[in-house]
Structure 1
Amino acid sequence: MILSIHTPFAERVVAKHDALLLNEGPEEQTARVVAALERIGAVTTFGPTRAGRVVDLAGFGEAPIVYITKDDDYLLLSDVAEALGWPLHKAHAWAQQQHSWAIEDQRNHDEERGDGRLGWECLLGYIDLRLDLSEDDPEAKPDANGQKWSHSGDWLVSQDRLPALLCSSPWGKEFLDNVGDHMGLMFQKVFGDKLKNSPTVHADGTPTGHSAWDMFSSDLTEEEALRKARRGPALDEADGTG
């Protein structure tokens, strides 16, 4: 295998998943990861970053930044999944779905542009490292040997995709509950008079007497709403600790 700027990272990722490797050994899978990263490096300036920078996952955990481009920071999906208590095969399935939608969006953009080029602007949010892994899965149907497992992999996910990731994670409902007040206040801040001038109606079409502004109101201040959005798992509010 030819050494690359991506080789040390690829070796670390493969070593992390050593017990899960499927069909191919460490050397072959390391080469697959390097090739996947080289493909991205051919379309954007892209490289590993020094250890030490971590991202707060809205209070539900932390995960390190592992790669950077000029515009984006990337986290390793398995690091995020571990922090959130999310089985990797489920996080992998989520990333696959997100990437498939991104491919569809990219195709639409390319056709609208109409110059025959294949773009990448929609495809850099989720980077498949092309790992071939298997993970125990109690919910899976047993195979011919009676074992229950699911296919898995690992990805780089850009930091701006974390809200979508958190919504789909085991903490999704609580994350949405936490950020609701802050999102409402931000909508009011950004859209202001447009919301005030947009009356709402009941299902039968009769006016409610309110505007869209009221839909996004909160009893919290902006600072309080931001703290709530970042608080992570809520404690029992009945005890006054939430």
Structure 2
Amino acid sequence: MTAQIDPEARLAELNARFRGYARHLAEEQLRHWSPKGISDLDDEAFVEQVTDELFALITREDVIVMPPDERRMLDLFGFGRVQEVLTEVNVDTVTFGVHGYVWGHEVAEALGWDAANFAEWARDQWKWDLVTQREEDVQTGTVGWECIRHHPMRVDVWQGEGRSDDHYVDGRMSGPITRYWCDLYLIHTDRIMSMMLNSPWGKEFMDSVIPLMSHAMRASGLEERAKDVPTYRTHVNSLGEVETEVAGSLADMFARDREGISEEEARRRAFRGPVTPSSEEP
């Protein structure tokens, strides 16, 4: 006789397991940030807060916490590498997806992005996620989460130089340096391109990746569909007047971006990382 499985008991068991995974990841962050400084929370309160946020994300989306030695390392197009801490999983086939979540501050550190500037960018992105999600919800008549790709942990940790204690005078910290009390963000890996473009390496990254994007436009068929979309340029005539003229199609512009560059070479350029004067191609 097959034993009956109590659905509520099974759900409770799964939730306990998932919360345990979330707590493990929160404790990793505690070990990293406690020596530097955590604002307004003792160690246990910090762990509970981060665990709550992680647990909500894990149970809302099909993601799991991978053991540290099994986590995927993501190549930031040659500008650095970062660890994926949450990985998408297909619960039916028990296979891993191509996306997941990374700690935003780890991406920022790999890219040399000032911590306070990055935190401000992440906060703005989270707000835009909420606006986009609300617009989607109004259309569907539901409350969803699919547009939320930047998740704050709602804790402030010291992300400036040294330890936070080093910056107090007479028991107080004041001035612009207080900007370095920043929240922690988990960011979906489908936002890596956006992070790259907004980082200090944004222009260099864009210059490197444009030829590969052009090849992708052709392969996807989008370039063909852009043949009838005109582009324009302006110039000043002899009378000092600004004139506008057609400068070809959008498809022509895409094609120019890869002119003389093979797909293999475009891929190499996209992942080459920083280009110094001595390494830049003529």
Report the TM range for the smaller structure's normalisation: 0.7 to 0.9
Equivalent residue number for residue 249 of structure 2: 211
Between the aligned partners of 2:52 and 2:227, the Cα distance in structure 1 is: 52
Name the larger-Rg structure. 2
Contact 1:235 1:241 in 2 (8 A): no
* Structure 1 SS opposite 2:21: coil
Contact 1:135 1:149 in 2 (8 A): no
Q: Quick one: distance in 2 between partners of 1:95 and 1:101?
A: 10
Partner of 2:232: 201
- Which piece of structure 1 moves more, 52-61 or 17-26? 17-26
- On the 8 A contact 1:63/1:75 being kept in 2, the answer is yes
TM-score normalised over the length of structure 1: 0.86
2:63 to 32, 46, 55: 46
**Alignment of structure 1 residues 61-210 onto 2, 5 Å:** 61-70=80-89, 71=97, 72-114=99-141, 117-123=142-148, 125-136=149-160, 145-146=173-174, 148-150=177-179, 151-190=181-220, 191-203=222-234, 204-208=243-247, 210=248
1:61–1:83 Cα contact (<8 Å) kept: yes
- Identity of paired residues, percent? 27
Aligned-residue offset at 1:28: 0.9
Q: Distance in 1 between matches of 2:58 and 2:250?
A: 45
Q: For this pair of structures, how many residues does the alignment match?
A: 232
Distance 1:145 1:21 in 2: 14
- Asked if structure 2 preserves the Cα contact closer than 8 Å seen for 1:47 and 1:68, the reply is yes
Paired letter, 1:207: V
Structure 1 stretches lacking a partner, 5+ long: none
Q: Tell me whether 1:16 sits opposite 2:47 in the alignment.
A: no
Cα offsets for 1:133-181 (capped at 9, x unmatched): 23438xxxx9965552213021111111100011111111111111111
Query: How far apart are the structure 2 equivalents of 1:10 and 1:179?
Result: 35
- Greater Cα shift, 143-152 or 13-22: 143-152
* Cα distance in 1 for residues equivalent to 2:53 and 2:47: 10
Give the residue type in structure 1 aligned to 2:156: D
Mapped partners of 2:108, 2:131: distance in 1 = 25
In structure 2, distance between residues paired with 1:160 and 1:145: 37
Q: How much is the aligned-residue C-alpha RMSD, in angstroms?
A: 2.4
Provide the rounded CA distance (Å) in 2 between the counterparts of 1:83 and 1:122.
26
Contact 2:156 2:182 in 1 (8 A): yes
